[in-house]
Each structure stands twice: as structure tokens, then as C-alpha cells.
Amino acid sequence: MRILGIDPGLNITGYGLIDVSGNHLRLVEAGIIKTTVSSGIKNRLNKIHQGLLGLIQEQRPEVMVLEKLYTHYRHPTTACLLGHVRGVICLLSAQKDLDFFEYSPTRIRKSILGRGNASKLQVKRMMENIFKLKEGSLTLDTSDALAMAVAHANICKIKI
């Protein structure tokens, strides 16, 4: 099964694509889609849409996984902007008929590290370890996206 994890962000959207077969995980691709404030919201959302659309068309994932939306009540604008990005991603999932799952950050981290309060750096190191990557080779955005894909495999017992 091919699983696409996405860490949505208006500035940087991270993605991680894995194949799961039996007890084996294989990293297919991981990266980021970066936008600039000066290009305006519509162009930023379009860049994220086009980048993910191209990835989906080329790599043909079967499942898309996102982290459940959580933002601090003191930052309503951040929540709104993140909602725009998530809307683009959810629409892509529907348009490409991908199974869609959401998990809380705590559930993702507990699935991978056994502790729901693990740090982003611990998640990053675990992803580099699982995929036998050199330390520092993943960004926090790509490691979070990969963690979502791996967590889905764990939670659904696809493998691991």
C-alpha cells in the first residue's frame, strides 16, 4: 500500500510518501512545497495544490493522511490560514478518490515512539532511523509528514 502523509502549512507544506508491504516500509519520496508571502494567498494555495496534484498523479498513493487541526486559541488567524491549506488538500483527496485519514499529533507520536508527548526532534530522529537516513537529512516538515504515513500503517496494522 502506498501512503502519502502531508504536514500542511502555508509557508511550507511537507510531504512523505511510503510503500508498505508485509513488514517492510520503503521511503518513496519526501520533500516540501515552499511558498512566499509576496505571491499572495491565491497563488500560494495554487502552488500547494499543483505541487501535490503532480505528486499524486505521478506516484499514485492509495491513502492520504493529515494531522488533525489543532491551533492555540490565541492564534485564530493561523488556524484560518491553515484551514485554507487543509481545504485544498482535502479537496485533492476527494478529486483523486484517495482514502483520507486524520490523526491527532498525540496519537501519531504514540504510535511511533510509544509516547504521545514526544518532541518533534524525537520524531525526526525516529523517521531517519526507520528509513536509514543520515542524521539531519530530513526537515521537521518532511519528518512530520513521514510520521503520519508510518503512524497510519501502525494504527491500521497494514504492516509494522
Hey, which residues are catalytic here? Answer: 7, 67, 141
Gap between the Cα atoms of 40 and 90, Å rounded: 21
**What percent of the residues of the chain are helix, what percent strand, and what percent coil, each to the nearest 5?**
50, 25, 30
The three-class DSSP label of residue 156 is coil
The three-class DSSP label of residue 103 is strand
